[in-house]
Structure 1
């Protein structure tokens, strides 16, 4: 694998682009939920459920893409799914009802869902474990830019033009990236024989791996669930779609800034310290929103959620690449799936309360869930020690 080291800057850049496009599409819908509901003449709750469908299919498709990437390659999987995602996203722009929107966005989510996990598995295949979190944090730069531009741009475009424009843009971007990823070399993959069920068996027999997946489920409900509901919560409190989008866009700026910070700290701080810091930021963020959904509270929350995502999520994500090396692709895929299933469940549960404008209750529940998540993840990670071979490349 040492031959890949020479192309590392290009590889990182391309992987960041994949993370950017997938994240841009994922976050483009949240600032436009109210605008979409008005345009389709549908209850806000039904549009929130459509967003939940995206996260659900995004999540449950992850194990499939992990198996596919094992068989056909990480890069080939990213290229194929981005091509299909681009087509589905453009088609979703023509939706005339909330039901059609949910179906088309769900299909797009299922395809976009392959991009980030495949990129993460690529890093797991090619980067040494002791420096892997540094590159995982760098990968989050793409996530940060996608989040910021989608959060800000979607609200503005929905106000001055149409929410449909955003889905056309994400579709075109996915098609362009599918072609560009042809320059990314495939990493070497180790096959352990047997059917695709074998790595799932490894996962099922590893209690600590199952615990990591449970953490991802809870984290998806807390972090992604909160950022999804942040724009409509601020709009419910009186903010315009544009202002709510701009405030939510601070989250992307925070992720961008905190990614660089965490990349440095990960070389000096223990994983448990990063998890504790991230969990504390998530608790405070949700608590602030439980009290107020004003724009100022939204901005403060966006900053704290950015810190929580880069500190806690990147640490758990890195853990997922290390916890069971023999089934890395399966574990990472299930991790991403659990994350977005958790987000989807949060959206489904929140739909009714969002219709009633009871956002304080929703965010208080997020703060309550973040407490055991942080405590349990810190305690188990402190007792866990890595085992097994790791990539040789620095």
Structure 2
């Protein structure tokens, strides 16, 4: 029995008709096309710009802050839930078609949001924008999976990690400044204009493959879900989302509970973005090492970060934790992403989208389970639990990665 069938084979190579089509303009030396990096930057820029705008939106509509929370939560919910739909559409109609359409639709929703006359209209439009922007990152990951050889794919995906990290950091800084100096409406309009420009810029980028021969959504889903390796990778994504993303949410509140102001707490946790940038650069230098070693390194940083936070809720302790968690995201998460791109070459978009959905579901579970502990101020216990969970997650992921053989190598 081959290595690829110990937990379920990844299936045969897709037929030639699936891989046929116009030759793409492939990334040189494992690099992602700049326009795709810009699209991923913009997706995170729009997503993370929402939270800093909530107070300004409440003031603009003369309502309580708790009434405008749905502007953010509705966006996040739609962003996560739309992933499988975009994955199946990208498998059926092509990666760049989906990216162009979703960015164009997001631009329209963004401009309409900037002119929303009521809070209800704004909520509806932001939910739609979240669903459309949600297509960009998983489809870009899939494009890289189509066009970059597995041996250097992790290096290419690290380019996307850098773009996402910059988008996250820029959103917090720019959103606050624009809403303070101009208005929150101007910020939404800015994001929409950037989306429209990005659509125009993608015109020179070829499609990565022709439409799949799997005609029905059920065929696309079935080709992924019947593989036990798909469930393994989605399971790791679910747990990673609960530990890393879900518990990371509580770093800033932990500082505030110690008397640190909102701005100070946000500045300290923003070091997560710096950590992601720095470690993504390091990842590019070591990306050709065995995948299990990258998973192990990322898992160690994840566990160490939460362990430090559990031992010290000081500014220095949380700062160190944020930087290490950025490293964990760069190494561990990007390694899982790379793994997801190899699962089902004939339905790669669906496989990657399901992995991303599992990540979002896990983050919701993690933040939900952590709520009762933080409500009583038990932040150290929560971070200790996260560190403890990261250890078996790392060991199991690294071990199983050694037993997996991709079919598109």
- Alignment TM-score, normalising by the size of structure 1: 0.84
Q: Name the residue aligned to 1:141.
A: 162
Q: Which of 342-351 and 325-334 deviates more?
A: 342-351
1:185 aligns with 2:206: yes
Q: Partners of 1:285 and 1:166 in 2: how far apart?
A: 33
Q: Which of 1-10 and 235-244 deviates more?
A: 1-10
- Closer, same or farther in 2 for the Cα pair 1:90/1:301, shift >3 Å? farther
Q: Partners of 1:87 and 1:362 in 2: how far apart?
A: 41
Q: Give how far 1:72 is off.
A: 2.3
Q: Name the residue aligned to 1:204.
A: 225
Contact 1:21 1:173 in 2 (8 A): yes
1:369 aligns with 2:389: yes
- Decide which of 323, 344, 356 is 1:303's aligned counterpart: 323
Q: Name the residue aligned to 1:335.
A: 355
- Alignment TM-score, normalising by the size of structure 2: 0.81
Q: Partners of 2:381 and 2:113 in 1: how far apart?
A: 32
What is the count of residue pairs matched by the alignment?
Answer: 385
1:151 aligns with 2:172: yes
Q: Name the residue aligned to 1:274.
A: 294
The 5 A counterparts of 1:174-253 are 174-189=195-210, 191-253=212-274
List per-residue Cα deviations over 1:2-26 (Å, max 9, x = no partner): 9535775996211110110111122
Q: Name the residue aligned to 2:7.
A: none
CA RMSD of aligned residues (A): 3.3
Q: Name the residue aligned to 1:382.
A: 402
Q: Partners of 1:175 and 1:332 in 2: how far apart?
A: 25
- Closer, same or farther in 2 for the Cα pair 1:40/1:344, shift >3 Å? farther
Q: Partners of 2:206 and 2:365 in 1: how far apart?
A: 36
Q: Partners of 1:127 and 1:161 in 2: how far apart?
A: 43
More helix by share: 1
Q: Name the residue aligned to 2:128.
A: 107
Gaps of 5+ in 2: 1-20
The 5 A counterparts of 1:248-267 are 248-267=269-288
1:42 aligns with 2:62: no
1:15 aligns with 2:63: no
Contact 1:157 1:163 in 2 (8 A): yes
List per-residue Cα deviations over 1:107-162 (Å, max 9, x = no partner): 32211110011111111111111111111112212112112212343455566666
- Closer, same or farther in 2 for the Cα pair 1:365/1:24, shift >3 Å? farther
Contact 2:309 2:317 in 1 (8 A): yes
Gaps of 5+ in 1: none
- Closer, same or farther in 2 for the Cα pair 1:24/1:204, shift >3 Å? same
- Decide which of 344, 362, 382 is 1:324's aligned counterpart: 344
Q: Which of 210-219 and 345-354 deviates more?
A: 345-354
Q: Give how far 1:61 is off.
A: 1.0
Q: Name the residue aligned to 2:12.
A: none
Q: Which of 373-382 and 246-255 deviates more?
A: 246-255
- Decide which of 305, 310, 314 is 2:334's aligned counterpart: 314
- Closer, same or farther in 2 for the Cα pair 1:95/1:334, shift >3 Å? farther
1:4 counterpart SS class: coil
2:65 counterpart SS class: coil
Q: Give how far 1:101 is off.
A: 6.7
Contact 1:58 1:340 in 2 (8 A): no
- Closer, same or farther in 2 for the Cα pair 1:362/1:112, shift >3 Å? farther
- Closer, same or farther in 2 for the Cα pair 1:62/1:192, shift >3 Å? same
Q: Give how far 1:382 is off.
A: 1.7
Q: Partners of 1:344 and 1:11 in 2: how far apart?
A: 30
Q: Which of 340-349 and 296-305 deviates more?
A: 340-349
Larger Rg: 2
